[in-house]
Amino acid sequence: MSENASIETLGGIFRDNQIFALMSHVRPDGDAIGSQLGLGLALEAMGKTVHYWNDDGLPENLEFLPHSEKIARPPHEAPVVDVAIALDTATKVRLGENNLRAASRASLWVNIDHHISNPRYGDVNYVDATSPATGQIIYEIIKSLDMPLPEGSRDAIYVAVSTDTGSFQYDSTTSRTYRLAADLLDRGLAVGDINAKIYDSYPYRRIELMRTLLNTLQLSADGRVAHWDMLDATRISLGLKPEDSEGLIDLIRAIRGVQVAVFFEELPDGKIRVSMRSKDRSTNVCEIATLFGGGGHALAAGIRMAGPLEAAKEKVLAAIATAI
């Protein structure tokens, strides 16, 4: 089923089934975990049984979210599941092998996402590429269906949307996004407290990483591309966790004159993870990412590609230069 299902169809699925497995992509971010908790806690309030699975588990920086302890690595043996729901995951393989195995007995697959590159891999798909975050889609589904919106869902949805919009700064942020935030505030969201936990509570190793990255920073000759890189040896020596680098690319994206920022990361398996950010839509980094089997959004996209690091950098930087 390639076309989008209606919200009413989703409502029927939620109403007519009992056991749900909610999953998100490997190396989960705030939108991934926030969307799982936002929808899952609403389903639980309807009396449903919900499993919350992620191949990499719960990131340390999101442990403050209410009921975050529900996020678990998927079980080795696949339990009985009526509906498997993939959230904020552009391609099915990004769920990870363990999630795919654990959800293999699901009778129905639902795919809810906001990535423009999503190929609609579910039996039922709801993909809104105009939404700045999957968390906003979850909020709109909950509101449209008059589902419960408990306090845990409220906080999780706010974190999902705030982190994926750069704290409401990116141009994907819409009036709908601000109305969402206002409604969550009206529902009792402690915005100052939750923002402090998102943005003002980093481990020291993140600052050490920033120092290391700055020592690798390079600008293109015309000043329009900034990039830095991280070796796997750095991850080991600093004891880094995947979430420690979250958002750091925005530091070099903010350099005056820079059009595209790129973060090259050497992974333990020898592959290279490439994160790209564009300052405006004149350079679509999603189109660049698709050249290498990646995807994402016009202003934020990613790739996983073969190494070594220097070879990957040469190819990607050449493609960016051509696009610019």
Position 142 scores a pLDDT of 98
Position 296 scores a pLDDT of 85
| Contact between residue 138 and residue 38 where contact means Cβ atoms under 8 Å apart | yes
pTM attached to this predicted model: 0.88
Contacts of 78 (CB under 8 A, 6+ apart): 101, 102, 103, 104, 105
DSSP class of residue 50 equals: E
Class of the CATH domain delimited by 207-323: alpha beta
Residues of the chain with confidence (pLDDT) below 50:
none
The position carrying tokens 């309807």 is: 46
H helices present in 104-190, as ranges: 134-144, 151-164, 175-186
The position carrying tokens 């092998």 is: 97
Token readout for 278 is 């564009």
| Contact between residue 82 and residue 20 where contact means Cβ atoms under 8 Å apart | yes
| Contact between residue 263 and residue 249 where contact means Cβ atoms under 8 Å apart | yes
Position 251 scores a pLDDT of 94
Give the whole-angstrom CA distance, residue 218 versus residue 228.
Answer: 6
Helix (H, G, I), strand (E, B) or coil at 4: coil
Domain layout of the chain by residue ranges: 7-199, 207-323
Class of the CATH domain delimited by 7-199: alpha beta
H helices present in 173-231, as ranges: 175-186, 191-199, 204-214
| Contact between residue 160 and residue 184 where contact means Cβ atoms under 8 Å apart | no
Position 303 scores a pLDDT of 94
Token readout for 167 is 């704290």
